[in-house]
């Protein structure tokens, strides 16, 4: 998520953008450099990328039975190589995330990192001939969603327009035959309508949940990589190599972006932007609908993606109930427009004492739940239910941590107000 509004106590209206842009990573002429990486590292990787694009390289990996490695590596290399270029584009056209009172960063940051991820993902699929009618529709819908996201990064688009675009893209995917089949067909028209509604809620919910999690360095891209990994593992487990290749293509794109966004020392050099976070969430949600995650075992087939996406589901349900009970939102319009710092990562940051600790904690939580989804391959329905109970227990533990974070946050806010009154 992004905002392009200045706060007066942070920067005045007369302060030029160049003073708040991180100039340490800019080369001569004011052009962004390699975003914290030495050219001694960047140029060899650029040469490697060119080598991966050669047909002989692709054929070698295909004949060796390591096609998935090639798909992931190519996506990673293209994404990594393009990030400095899109950083330069962001500075040139002023597509920057400017700091404000709600933001965690204090310097104008490029917003087009999602373009590098998306192009890396697309190139890995198209160059390898990974295509179907259903996937083609998903990609076309993603391009439409990406275009609206870029417009939102340039000049903020209303939540209503973004929601309508998401609905249109979702209906395009459903029209191509990609739809959840949770309700038995024996119920006739009720099953069709029910599965339609569930598909719309699933895809739009996951799309926006990923956007909500794009609030801390490395969080959205890291979760995108982890979820892609587990979707890929389960896809290969269930003899769906096509979906496995699509998954690892997205994984490679996210990993290629992550070094610039989640740095050991210092803040992110580039952000995904709304265009990047929404498209990653949309594609992953569609992959989950597209796949058959347990042939002949509908309970396991349903539970497996739920566990992989559990963090998103929990956060979306939790904040919705919380905001309604506290009166922060009174209707649907307020719900889609509400922006707050009450998400899982915000509260964990308060409870654990840092943003990076919060991000790493959520990584581990995703690894835990994703591993549970992987072991479901030959599980009985009872085992699937037990894993869901385990996930609920984890949610209870996280809720306790969140409440601790809320207490810490409330105490800090109260001390800040008291200090303000004294001064």
pLDDT tens digit sequence for 60-78: 998 988 999 999 999 999 9
pLDDT at 278: 95
Name which of 104, 86, 288 is nearest 96 in CA terms.
86
Q: What is the pLDDT of residues 349-370, one digit of tens each?
A: 888 888 899 999 999 999 999 9
Listed in sequence order, the residues at least 6 apart from 356 whose beta carbon sits closer than 8 Å to its beta carbon are: 217, 218
pLDDT at 321: 84
Listed in sequence order, the residues at least 6 apart from 413 whose beta carbon sits closer than 8 Å to its beta carbon are: none
pLDDT at 8: 35
Name which of 401, 395, 314 is nearest 358 in CA terms.
401
- Provide the pLDDT confidence category of residue 25 given band limits of 50, 70 and 90: very low
- Provide the pLDDT confidence category of residue 183 given band limits of 50, 70 and 90: confident
List Cα–Cα distances, 416 to 110, 387, 413, in angstroms: 31, 43, 5
CA 118 to chain centre: 12
- pLDDT surpasses 80 at 102: no
| Least confident window among 181-190, 210-219, 258-267, 295-304 | 295-304
d(CA 105, CA 266): 10
User: How do 96-97 and 109-110 pair as beta strands?
Assistant: antiparallel
pLDDT at 398: 81
Q: What is the mean pLDDT of residues 163-185?
A: 91
- Provide the pLDDT confidence category of residue 308 given band limits of 50, 70 and 90: very high
d(CA 200, CA 235): 22
Name which of 156, 165, 418 is nearest 279 in CA terms.
165
With H, G, I as helix, E, B as strand and everything else as coil, classify residue 354: coil
- pLDDT surpasses 80 at 202: yes
The chain-wide mean pLDDT, for the chain, equals 83
Q: How many CB atoms lie within 10 A of CB 369?
A: 23
218-221, long-range: CB within 8 Å, 24+ apart, which pairs? 218/258, 218/261, 218/262, 218/268, 218/356, 218/359, 219/345, 219/359, 219/362, 220/272, 220/276, 220/277, 220/280, 221/117, 221/254, 221/257, 221/258, 221/261, 221/262, 221/272, 221/280
- Provide the pLDDT confidence category of residue 309 given band limits of 50, 70 and 90: very high
pLDDT at 279: 96
Q: What is the mean pLDDT of residues 298-311?
A: 84
pLDDT at 345: 86
Structure tokens, 97: 């995330």
- pLDDT surpasses 50 at 15: no
- pLDDT surpasses 50 at 420: no
DSSP state of 96: E
Q: Which residues pair with 108 in a beta bridge?
A: 21
- pLDDT surpasses 60 at 381: yes
pLDDT at 332: 72
Q: How many CB atoms lie within 10 A of CB 247?
A: 29
């Amino acid at each position: 998520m992004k905002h392009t509004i200045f706060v007066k106590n942070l920067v005045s209206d007369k302060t030029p953008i160049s003073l708040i842009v991180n100039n340490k990573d800019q080369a001569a002429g004011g052009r962004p450099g390699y975003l914290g990486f030495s050219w001694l590292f960047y140029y060899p990787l650029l040469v490697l990328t060119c080598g991966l694009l050669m047909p002989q390289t692709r054929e070698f990996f295909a004949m060796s039975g390591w096609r998935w490695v090639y798909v992931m590596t190519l996506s990673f290399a293209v994404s990594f190589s393009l990030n400095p270029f899109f950083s330069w584009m962001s500075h040139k056209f002023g597509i920057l995330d400017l700091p404000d009172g709600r933001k965690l960063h204090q310097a104008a940051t490029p917003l087009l990192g999602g373009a590098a991820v998306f192009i890396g993902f697309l190139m890995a699929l198209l160059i390898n001939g990974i295509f179907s009618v259903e996937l083609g529709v998903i990609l076309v819908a993603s391009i439409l969603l990406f275009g609206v996201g870029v417009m939102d990064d340039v000049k903020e688009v209303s939540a209503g327009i973004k929601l309508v675009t998401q609905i249109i893209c979702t209906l395009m995917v459903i029209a191509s035959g990609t739809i959840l089949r949770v309700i038995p067909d024996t119920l006739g028209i009720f099953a069709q309508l029910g599965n339609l509604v569930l598909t719309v809620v699933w895809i739009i919910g996951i799309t926006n949940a990923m956007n909500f999690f794009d609030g801390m360095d490395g969080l959205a891209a890291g979760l995108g990589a982890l979820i892609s990994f587990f979707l890929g593992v389960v896809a290969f487990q269930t003899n769906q190599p096509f979906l496995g290749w699509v998954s690892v293509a997205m994984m490679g794109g996210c990993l290629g972006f992550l070094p610039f966004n989640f740095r050991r020392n210092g803040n992110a050099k580039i952000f995904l932007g709304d265009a990047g976070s929404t498209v990653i969430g949309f594609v992953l949600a569609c992959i989950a609908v597209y796949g058959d995650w347990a042939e002949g075992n509908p309970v396991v087939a349903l539970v497996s993606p739920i566990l992989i996406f559990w963090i998103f589901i929990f956060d979306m349900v939790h904040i919705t109930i919380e905001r309604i009970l506290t009166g922060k939102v009174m209707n649907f319009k307020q719900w889609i427009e509400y922006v707050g710092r009450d998400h899982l990562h915000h509260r964990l940051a308060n409870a654990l004492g840092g943003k990076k600790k919060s991000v790493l904690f959520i990584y581990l939580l995703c690894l835990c739940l994703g591993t549970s989804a992987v072991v479901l391959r030959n599980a009985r329905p009872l085992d699937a239910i037990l894993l869901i109970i385990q996930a609920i227990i984890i949610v209870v533990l996280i809720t306790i941590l969140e409440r601790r974070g809320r207490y810490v946050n409330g105490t800090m806010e109260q001390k800040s107000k008291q200090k303000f009154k004294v001064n």
